[in-house]
Amino acid sequence: MTEYQSDNSIKGYKIIVIILAVILAALTYLYFTQVKELKGDRQELMVQRDTLVNRLTGIMTDFDSLKTENDTISANLLIERQRADSILQKLQQERSLSYAKINQYEKELGTLRTIMQNYVRQIDSLNTLNQTLIQENLTYRRNENELKLRASMAEERAKELDVKVQQGSVILARNIALLALNNNDKEVTRANRAARLRTDFVLTANELATPGDRTVYVRIIGPDGYLLANSSDNVFDFEGERLAYSASRSIDYQNEDLGVNIYYNGGGITGGKYSVSVYMDGKLIGTNEIILK
């Protein structure tokens, strides 16, 4: 080999070395660039995963805050809540993150968010409806109570009116007098000469009373405080009791003043103060005290 050829070989080797050095430098640059990019991508993916975890945790909290008495919605909320929990566990345990997987998780979170928003609207609608029904129920109860109160007041007024009508329909006896008579029905001035007693009175006119046949009873209490009576069987009903009477008479009342005379035929007639009570329709309709000499 000549000296010229030797110089050319050395130059060739140098060129090859230079080329190899350039290639090595380029490869080294590419390697470190890719490593740096991979580290950057990994960090970016971790940041996005943490963001997804936070968003998913917020969605789960929102699911937990949704309360409703509707059994169907409650069951569906539980299913979606469990689904969100499953996605969270899968995301936290993911070992080979990629942008494609991140996008997939993004879609799943979007679906969950949409489902939750739909349930929020349903629950709001139900709550609004419930509030409306509650208000309507309160209004109904208030109206019902008012109607009951009015009915009760009307019933009380009707009872009061009925009592007033009953009280107003009572036929009263006025001008009650007690006369001592002899056997010829002539009035005598001395009671010890009397063969019998006659009670005179007037049944007052009353348009509210029911006209028709009635029986009037008279009780005469003598000066000794005992009832003048011919028989212990002569009794009538008064306020749930059976009272003995001295004399009675049937009359026909036609809502006009009616003079009535009732005779007591019996013994025990003496001078002194007598108490006379008149009864009709189960009521005491008049009393008077008379002195016979």
3-state secondary structure string, 62-111?
A: HHHHCCCCCHHHHHHHHHHHHHHHHHHHHHHCCCCCCHHHHHHHHHHHHH
Average pLDDT of the residues in 99-119: 82
Note the pLDDT tens digit of each residue in 217-242.
999 999 999 999 888 889 999 988 89
Rounded to 5 degrees, what angle do the CA atoms 35, 37, 38 make? 65
The whole-number pLDDT of residue 1 equals 53
**Distance between CA atoms of residues 128 and 120, nearest Å:** 12
Q: Is the dihedral of CA 21, 23, 29, 34 positive or negative?
A: negative
CB 220 within 8 A of CB 276: yes
Work out the percent of the chain whose per-residue pLDDT is above 90: 30
Note the pLDDT tens digit of each residue in 123-179.
878 878 878 878 887 787 888 787 787 777 767 765 655 554 555 678 999 999 999
Both structure tokens of 14? 């140098």
- DSSP summary character for residue 227: B
Q: Which of 15-19, 30-34, 218-222 has the lowest mean pLDDT?
A: 30-34
Average pLDDT of the residues in 245-268: 92
The β-bridge partners of 199 are: 178, 262
The whole-number pLDDT of residue 212 equals 93
- The distance of Cα 224 from the centroid of its chain, to the nearest Å, equals 65
**Strand pairing category for 247-253 and 272-280:** unpaired
Average pLDDT of the residues in 84-91: 80
280, pLDDT greater than 60: yes
Of 164, 158, 193, residue with least CA distance to 179: 193
Inter-CA distances, 235 with 22, 172, 230, 246, Å:
147, 21, 11, 9
Note the pLDDT tens digit of each residue in 205-214.
998 888 999 9
21, pLDDT greater than 70: no
**Distance between CA atoms of residues 271 and 180, nearest Å:** 10
pTM over 0.75: no
Half-sphere exposure in the Cβ direction for 169 (13 Å, CA): 13
**Distance between CA atoms of residues 234 and 277, nearest Å:** 15
**Distance between CA atoms of residues 136 and 130, nearest Å:** 10
The β-bridge partners of 243 are: 236
The whole-number pLDDT of residue 4 equals 52
Phi/psi region, residue 135 (left: phi>0; alpha: psi -120 to 50; beta: rest), is: alpha
Rounded to 5 degrees, what angle do the CA atoms 220, 225, 231 make? 50
The whole-number pLDDT of residue 53 equals 80
In one-letter notation, the amino acid at residue 283 is K
The whole-number pLDDT of residue 37 equals 44
**Distance between CA atoms of residues 3 and 8, nearest Å:** 9
Both structure tokens of 59? 């969605």
**Distance between CA atoms of residues 127 and 247, nearest Å:** 80
Using pLDDT thresholds of 50, 70 and 90, give the confidence band for residue 38: very low
25, pLDDT greater than 50: yes
Average pLDDT of the residues in 1-5: 55
**Distance between CA atoms of residues 202 and 88, nearest Å:** 105
